[in-house]
A and B are shown apart, each in its own frame.
Chain A
């Protein structure tokens, strides 16, 4: 039975699926979002929070490219904080606690209300392809477990942890994609049948506690920032009523409880095969690996404004229920705590990123795209980023346009996709600022400027927002220019012995401790300073408002403060950048190149990098191998 035909079918209503479906629909494609429960779209099965180090930057980038995540958390967040606020702006990232119920409700509304997007409820059982006999098969749709066929020219798989999901609580094992949801058992088989390699990964979640059973008076509270800052440049009204989180600590008693019965953990007892993330270890992992530490920090985070559930960040575990209870109650302030839901580990099938191109289209099946945890990433933000890119690229391929290739020096989005294309993912991948060698440039404060051209090209954002972005860039450029010309007096506290009298605004900003506002308030600025004031007022009243003006000024200040370092960094990195422009032919036979080590031949054959730059970033491909490859490519190119 054939229901209908779509340009693009998105499978999965998680954070990747949402951005993929919305991007497709907003770019004009007729899109279907197939999900097992249309009221569960945008659910937060783990941490009820958006953002974090490196991740906050991704959310900002998604926002400028027309994604939904930033606006939704701004509208439903209950606590907003900038992490690393004592460190430099390049490593500061916004993070917010979500009211996860409101977040989900809003995502359900947005997707249901989106034009061109149809929500189809059902479990996807199988991928349908054409042309399997004659070569690389082409996707033609999906079949639901009801037997219904949904046809489409492109399919984007965003199935998260649902592929053969298996949950562990101690010795108890339950089949499912997350607590309270069935897993997708047949889809894995369908992928394997089409020639995909599948790999088991593991992640986990902590127990949830009953709010009223916690003695908060004995815990340190952690309030949100005052004033809070939103993620999205499109958010106008922003005055969230913020709630507090709390800090708690494990102790030696906690650690003894764990060490004594470690064998009861499926992780250490050997029942879990999948690899878990090192950066987000379970509490049993922490106790074993950091045996010399007497305590570990826990954050108690409310799952919603009025929710009775408290998420225990830092206590991810798959130990048996009775042990979880003892562990929780060994912590000061949690002696009487009641566990509402136990922590669990989940194992699931993922597709190694060597099975995809950097467009996120799969190699085995043409027209099939993958995004989110199925690709081995971790986190809502990484998933959303991939979803957006997969959606955009699916539409572009329908339009006959080349896939986006966002460079590593343009955005964390570029770093994310490039890392997936070149790194062997052996644990769930999460973003860090140290993954971005250009992080001094890839800041939250300049996201609008960095991605403006791309945003205009994709044309997902409403026209009014595009105009604001253009006005903002104009403002930044003109004020930066004016700051070069303006001459202001240096206040005594900033003055250095070799400097006296007046300096340019740019020089002024290079003094440690100076800010753009101190330049604007300095005496002696004359005409140029007046012009700056005029530009600011005009942007504030006609385009972006006071908050965007303030953010743009912060960007200008940071641009100037980092300028020298960024230039230095670019010089230091210069001689490698051009390798990204050297394309490797897709039909290259690495086993022909005898000078490559066998390991590299295998690695390169599996990953099939698209540029020499990517080849160089593959784990295990050594400098010498790259040299060989480069000479070989020259030879192929006829250079002799």
Chain B
């Protein structure tokens, strides 16, 4: 039984000079012949040479027998790269068309292939096939998902490490002592009449806590992985008209690397994604913070406050001229409220930025304040330096080097295990459940750990894995 031949855009939507359209399946060559004219693709030839790109014309497919007179229209001049089974990503016959970038052309190429008999690919379908045909292991499949999402070099490096087993090594370190403890508990239950080998509660607690600590530190490093993958979120906060938008534009101009600029999901927040050095940053321009605000604006401010709580880094903007008065500046109210609400948990780094420095002659102020002028561009590189310094504390390089980038599933499972271990420790202290209870629960907890390391399978895991792949990979 063979699966339908599928087609999809394999490169990111809408950007880049070249778009890649991939056709895969046992009829990939047949479909390609109907839409592509070039060396190796005429009907007379059995098969084009594998892994050799050829130049040619991509056109709409000729009509079927009932409609043979249908006009054939040229869509684009393209490179076609045939990769014959099993030497392709999916393990099936595959043809990739490199056409001119832009949404319209690529969409027409895909449509032509569909007209020629290919089916549009479902999310993650190429990878699913690669996986089914033995081209990828599950670990690798997940790492590929991260590679696809990896925008920065550090992140890509970590994803590559992951394939090499960084996470697995760390998990083994956690699993081994737990399994050791478990086997001792079980032994004490199963050979009751041999030697009395009960394990003291204090020793059990010690092992559980040690494992919990290791998982927590893994989670900590692993969440640095989130920053690698999703980008570092920086929120610009400050009073209205303090110059947030201008600063954002200046930062973007400095680096000239805007990936996209789109209105935020809320009407008050504008988000901009920037590459700088080895990292990806997402800047959020928030609604201004004011004490006296109407109901609509208060809503916006509430959102700003939420963003501040979730930020990885905060740029606190104040006008340089007000700073130069050598007064101790209070934090914006919402920010102050966040600090209080967070009951001391709010440890996000705040960089103080003085704006509109061109309006002040020689400001005399605290060294921790970065002075900038969005107008002249002065101080923008200082600000980038300050940001990079702050980011250095996030241990991103360490996370990348150890290959510990945790995806949502990993985070969820490890969080669950850590949580369960904490609860089990508390339970042991509180009610001293018998070793049979401890052993039973511990064996389930280790089974969950195994789902991260790959020792135990859960079907949902697979659903989760494949739902993460975007169309085309």
Contacts and interface: CB of A to CB of B under 8 A. Distances in A.
B448 A84 contact: no
B462 A88 contact: no
Contact of A439 (B420, B436, B448): B436
A433 B460 CA distance: 28
A297 B437 contact: no
Given A569-B444, A572-B420, A631-B462, A87 B457 contact: no
Contacts of B138: 623-624, 627
B267 interface: no
Given A433-B189, A439-B436, A594-B134, A575 B3 contact: no
Interface stretch (B75-83, B206-214, B274-282, B426-434): B426-434
Contacts of B451: 623
28 contacts: A54-B190, A84-B189, A87-B192, A88-B437, A90-B437, A91-B189, A91-B436, A279-B190, A299-B193, A439-B440, A440-B436, A572-B420, A572-B441, A573-B447, A575-B458, A582-B459, A595-B132, A596-B134, A616-B456, A623-B455, A623-B461, A624-B139, A624-B457, A627-B462, A627-B465, A631-B128, A635-B3, A640-B3
B350 to A, nearest CB: 40
A628 B434 CA distance: 39
A242 interface: no
Contact of A630 (B190, B432, B433, B459): B459
Given A84-B192, A432-B190, A572-B448, A627 B461 contact: yes
Interface residues of B, number: 48
B444 A437 contact: yes
A434 interface: yes
A192 to B, nearest CB: 36
A636 B131 CA distance: 16
B440 A437 contact: yes
A5 interface: no
A470 B432 CA distance: 35
Nearest to B456: A623
Contacts of B465: 627
Contact of A579 (B122, B134, B459): B459
A216 interface: no
A626 interface: yes
A434 B189 CA distance: 8
A565 interface: yes
Interface in A548-570: 562, 565, 568-569
Interface string B184-208: 0010011011110000000000000
A499 interface: no
Contacts of A568: 441
Given A572-B420, A622-B454, A631 B131 contact: yes
A612 interface: yes
Interface residues of A, number: 47
A223 to B, nearest CB: 14
Interface string B106-126: 000000000000000010000
Contacts of A636: 1
A576 B455 CA distance: 13
Q: Would you call the interface of chain B mostly helix, strand, loop, or mixed?
A: helix
When A and B form their complex, which 3 residue pairs have the shortest distance between CB atoms, in order from nearest?
A88-B434, A572-B444, A623-B457
B354 interface: no
Given A84-B189, A84-B192, A433-B436, A632 B132 contact: yes
B414 interface: no
Interface in B435-473: 435-437, 439-441, 443-445, 447-448, 450-451, 454-462, 465
A87 B193 contact: no
Given A90-B436, A437-B444, A624-B454, A575 B460 contact: yes
Nearest to B461: A627
A297 B192 contact: no
Contacts of B348: none
A434 B183 CA distance: 9
Nearest to A95: B193
- Among A84, A573, A595, A632, max chain B CB count under 10 A is at A595
Q: Is the interface of A mostly helix, strand, loop or mixed?
A: helix
Nearest to B466: A631
Nearest to B122: A640
Contacts of A572: 420, 441, 444-445, 447-448
B194 A297 contact: yes
Contacts of B15: none
B189 A623 contact: no
Interface of B: 1, 3, 91, 122, 128, 131-135, 137-139, 186, 189-190, 192-195, 420, 431-437, 439-441, 443-445, 447-448, 450-451, 454-462, 465
Please indicate which of the listed interface residues B3, B434, B460, B465 has the most CB atoms of chain A within 10 Å of its own CB.
B434
A130 B260 CA distance: 75
Contacts of B135: 595
A594 B393 CA distance: 46
Contacts of B132: 593-595, 628, 631-632, 635
A612 B431 contact: no
Contacts of A434: 186, 189-190, 439, 443
A433 B189 CA distance: 8
Interface string A578-620: 1100100000000001111000000000000000100010000
Given A623-B138, A623-B451, A87 B194 contact: no
Interface in A387-433: 432-433
Nearest to A441: B440
A568 B431 CA distance: 15
A512 B139 CA distance: 45
A573 B444 contact: yes
A512 B430 CA distance: 10
B469 to A, nearest CB: 13
A386 B343 CA distance: 61
Contact of A87 (B128, B139, B189, B443): B189
A520 interface: no
Interface in A462-512: 512
B308 to A, nearest CB: 35
Contacts of B139: 624
A144 interface: no
Contact of B454 (A594, A595, A623, A640): A623
Contacts of A562: 437
Contacts of B458: 575-576, 579
Nearest to B451: A623
A88 B435 contact: yes
A201 B200 CA distance: 38
Given A88-B437, A624-B454, A437 B443 contact: yes
A197 to B, nearest CB: 28
A636 B1 CA distance: 9
Contacts of B186: 432, 434
Given A88-B435, A512-B431, A628 B444 contact: no
A576 B459 CA distance: 7
Residue from the set A54, A572, A575, A627 with the largest chain B CB neighbour count within 10 Å: A627
A624 B135 CA distance: 12
Contacts of B1: 635-636
A83 interface: yes
Given A612-B459, A631-B128, A83 B193 contact: yes
A595 B195 contact: no
A578 B462 CA distance: 14
Contacts of B128: 631
B246 to A, nearest CB: 51
Nearest to A629: B457
B145 to A, nearest CB: 14
Contacts of B134: 594-596
Contacts of A626: 457, 459
A9 interface: no
A432 B185 CA distance: 13
Nearest to A314: B194
A612 B436 CA distance: 28
A568 to B, nearest CB: 7
A53 interface: yes
Contacts of A622: 454-455, 457
